[in-house]
Amino acid sequence: MSTENEGNEVPPAPSAPPVPVESPAASADRAAPPAAPDPATPAPAAQSAAPGQEPAAHQAPPHAGTTAGTPPHASGAGAWPPPPPPPTVPAYAQGGGSGWGSSYAAQHPEGSKPAGRRGGLIAAVLVAALVAGGVGGGIGFWAADRNDNSTGSTTVSASNTPADLKRDPGTVADIASTALPSVVTIEAQGGNGEGGTGTGFVYDKQGHILTNNHVVASAADGGKLAATFSDGKKYDAEVVGRAEGYDVAVIKLKNPPSNLKPLPLGNSDKVAVGDSTIAIGAPFGLSNTVTTGIVSAKDRPVTSSDGASSKSSYMSALQTDASINPGNSGGPLLDAGGAVIGINSAIKPAESGGGLGGGGGQSGSIGLGFAIPVNQAKYVAQQLIKNGQAVYPVIGASVALQENTGGATISREGASGSQAVTPNGPADKAGLKPGDVITKLDDTVIDSGPTLIGQIWTHKPGDTVEITYKRDGKEHTTDVVLGQRKGES
């Protein structure tokens, strides 16, 4: 899945009308009081700065209260008794009329009204802010005036500093902090320069990383691979093995660090619908992203493709509503204990009704994400590390790949004109014939060919499964011992 996304340029915000500023008359003794506000003048709004600049700070208008100088009640130079000293004003009340602690009446002379509808909303917001400021400033001064030991601050400090905070075991924060150092962002680049970003996680201490095949496919033949950990350290890597049908791949760090911590692997067979999930990945290149959700469904038949290969992948997936986007592919889906229960692999795109996975555009999460069960992924990874190729269980019959057909129909003819039922193969030995419609595998209802393939691949070669099928309108059952196919042929 490519995570390269074109950014949309944000147009600059329209500038507000310029704010007229009156120059106060110069005086040797005191500042002249400001002129009375014009009722027809709209309330001033903050002026937008040019794009890329910080908004300009506007100077507050002169204080609207009584100016410094001779008090208004003094009758002359020798008046007795002398005028009382001006009241002490806290520092935060000095200056402009729009500052904290300023008087609402001083800023809004009686009889003044907003001018028309234009700027009415802005004026209302400003008034509300100023009233709140006046009340807050008044209370702050009142408290300071009556508490000799007060520092003047009305803030309340939390009992714990960030360094003192501890996350309880089992919380999302605790699980994420433990798992993130073992999750890598994978950059894959093909020989033609094309590639993308995905995710993987540490599988063992030897430096093997487990991920999706479609994450590394572009770099499999002569390309470049790199894995970056959450601490920013980057390592070159190489492909150990790929399984296109399972959409599983294993890569290895060329010079792995000695302190690798593999993520613990859970048991996906024990997962229940409603269990909590935590997904970690690099959606659209945003590394070390953590999202949460639940297991929405199990055994969900999913056919996915990256759009670059003619081959599809089939899985009986875990469905989750944890936010998964292009770039999350290959990342771990964790349970509430921090164990891996799946590999995030595909999403249902929002822009169309068909298809799954990362092909066909940069779609986003709509709460329908799908993960390969970890039990299956572990089995495949062991094969890839040991042999460089995967082994697939098979029934030895070709089936139609149309979806939602009421069953998996055995084709009348195989690929390239071959026989649909392999002579002396598992299906042939069990008595299956072309035209038979398989409707169940053990207790799982089969509604299409892809569903049958996904269910078969949850098993291993040599397993015995019960097949229910219809022939000429009659239902039959038979046991099939699964065969095997090596590699991607």
Annotated catalytic residue, options 63, 182, 214, 287: 214
Indicate the length of the chain as a whole number: 489
Report the amino acid identity of residue 70: T
pLDDT at residue 285 above 80? yes
> Average pLDDT of 246-273?
96
Q: Quick one: tokens of 415?
A: 């690929």
pLDDT at residue 394 above 70? yes
Q: Respond yes or no: is residue 27 known to be catalytic.
A: no
Annotated catalytic residue, options 247, 306, 321, 335: 247
Q: Quick one: tokens of 44?
A: 């001033």
- Higher pLDDT among residues 113 and 243, named by residue: 243
Q: Respond yes or no: is residue 447 known to be catalytic.
A: no
Q: Respond yes or no: is residue 29 known to be catalytic.
A: no
The per-residue pLDDT for 31 is: 43
- Return the top range by mean pLDDT from 101-105, 120-124, 374-378, 409-413: 374-378
The mean-pLDDT minimum among 26-35, 162-171, 223-232, 303-312 falls in 26-35
Q: Residue 204: count other Cβ atoms within 10 Å of its Cβ.
A: 15
Task: Give the separation between CA 256 and CA 240, rounded to whole angstroms.
Answer: 14
Rg (CA), the chain: 36
Band of the pLDDT at 452, cuts 50, 70, 90?
A: very high
Q: By C-alpha distance, which of 378, 403, 130 is closest to 246?
A: 378
Task: Give the separation between CA 402 and CA 395, rounded to whole angstroms.
Answer: 18
Task: Give the separation between CA 209 and CA 182, rounded to whole angstroms.
Answer: 10
The per-residue pLDDT for 162 is: 59
The per-residue pLDDT for 249 is: 96
The 3-class secondary structure across the chain, one letter per residue, is: CCCCCCCCCCCCCCCCCCCCCCCCCCCCCCCCCCCCCCCCCCCCCCCCCCCCCCCCCCCCCCCCCCCCCCCCCCCCCCCCCCCCCCCCCCHHHCCCCCCCCCCHHHHCCCCCCCCCCCCHHHHHHHHHHHHHHHHHHHHHHHHHHCCCCCCCCCCCCCCCCHHHCCCCCCCHHHHHHHHHHHEEEEEEECCCCCEEEEEEEECCCCCEEEECHHHHHHHCCCCEEEEECCCCCEEEEEEEEEECCCCEEEEEECCCCCCCCCCCECCHHHCCCCCEEEEEECHHHCCCEEEEEEEEEEEEEEEECCCCCCCCEEEEEEEECCCCCCCCCCCEEECCCCCEEEEEEEECCCCCCCCCCCCCCCCCCCCCEEEEEHHHHHHHHHHHHHHCCCEEEECCECECCCCCCCCEEECCCCHHHCCCECCCCHHHHCCCCCCCEEEEECCEECCCHHHHHHHHCCCCCCCEEEEEEEECCEEEEEEEECEEEECCC
* Dihedral (Cα; 306, 312, 318, 324), 10-degree rounding: 10
- Higher pLDDT among residues 154 and 410, named by residue: 410
Annotated catalytic residue, options 268, 287, 329, 365: 329
Task: Give the separation between CA 241 and CA 252, rounded to whole angstroms.
Answer: 10
pLDDT at residue 80 above 60? no
The per-residue pLDDT for 331 is: 97
* β pairing state of 183-189 and 340-347: unpaired
The mean-pLDDT minimum among 190-194, 388-392, 396-400 falls in 190-194
Report the amino acid identity of residue 73: H
Q: Tens digits of per-residue pLDDT, 195-224?
A: 888 999 999 999 999 999 999 998 988 889
Nearest 5°: the CA angle 90, 96, 100 is 50
CB 91 within 8 A of CB 52: no
pLDDT at residue 106 above 60? no
Q: Tens digits of per-residue pLDDT, 311-358?
A: 789 999 999 999 998 899 999 999 999 999 999 999 887 764 433 333
CB 201 within 8 A of CB 182: yes
The per-residue pLDDT for 196 is: 84
State how far the alpha carbon of 400 is from the alpha carbons of 77, 304, 425, 482, in Å.
110, 17, 18, 19
CB 249 within 8 A of CB 216: yes
The per-residue pLDDT for 156 is: 74
Task: Give the separation between CA 296 and CA 277, rounded to whole angstroms.
Answer: 10
